Amino acid sequence: MAVVFERTKGLRPVSTHYCPGCTHGIIHRLTAEALEELGVLDRAIGVAPVGCSVLAYNYFNCDMQEAAHGRAPAVATGIKRVLPDKFVFTYQGDGDLASIGTAEVVHAAHRGENISIVFVNNAIYGMTGGQMAPTTLAGQRTTTSPLGRDPLHAGYPIRIAEMLAMIPGAAFIERVSVDSPANVRKAKKAIKRAFEIQLEGKGFSLVEVLSTCPTNWGIEPPLALKWLRENMIPYYPLGNFRDKTKEEATDE
């Protein structure tokens, strides 16, 4: 008899504050497993955001630093430049990264900072009670778009992965989803690859992970996965948008 799945050492042995069925828990696990498997837990420094994952520093089994709302890429830049031998990652929601923190992530990518970002897109501000985010889909109901987001009034949902992929300093950009076991396994591969890019010194890497917020979407957890699959994936297509290591290989 062989153990084929057990709790990763990359997470502290504590229960999280996340709502039942919230996929932040899955994405924490994938991030922690990648840190453990790459052997960097003892030299990793994670930067936590503001949002539901503000308490991520209680869960990851490595050094953690809290950042002001949206500023995690700037804080990570400072840490990595002062301590280049550390492995530095941020974990950020869509309200954090794609709204108040858009400037920080765009400039960190342009500078080609050698940091890795796990970007959790659940199309809403979870922590503050389900307000519309820049990533909220057209027609999606939130507490601040009770009739559904109207692009003529509120603009169009922002596609971060596609946007960052056009930036010359970005080395690795991929979008994944955690709506099914197969997609969770793919998400793990992408996060691990993004982390390897930093370890190889190749520069800025980001994985956008499509996630659920059953509580604020008002949908029970298994059906929230279905809602993600049917509504988010058509607008936020999955796949790799940039991999400089492959581009270099074809240039040669």
Ligand X SMILES: Cc1ncc(C[n+]2csc(CCOP(=O)(O)OP(=O)(O)O)c2C)c(N)n1
Under the rule (CB under 6 A), what is the footprint of ligand X?
50-53, 69, 93-96, 100, 120, 122, 124-128, 133, 213
| Nearby residues of 158 by Cβ (< 8 Å), 6 or more positions away | 98, 102, 134, 135
Residue selected from 24, 28, 29, 80 as contacting ligand SF4 according to rule CB under 6 A: 24
Binding of residue 218 to another protein (CB under 8 A): no
CB of 206: closest distance to ligand SF4 in angstroms? 19
| 152 is an interface residue for another protein by CB under 8 A | no
Long-range pairs, 216-219, Cβ under 8 A, ≥24? 216/124, 216/125, 216/126, 216/129, 216/130, 216/142, 216/143, 217/124, 217/130
25 scored as a contact of another protein (CB under 8 A): yes
# of chain residues touching ligand SF4 (CB under 6 A)? 12
Scan residues 12-71 and list those touching Mg ion (CB under 5 A): none
Nearer to Mg ion, 92 or 116 (CB): 92
Strand partners, 207: 118, 174
Burial class (CB in 10 A: 0-12, 13-18, 19+), 13: exposed
Interacting residues toward ligand SF4 by CB under 6 A: 18-19, 22, 24, 52, 122, 126-127, 213-216
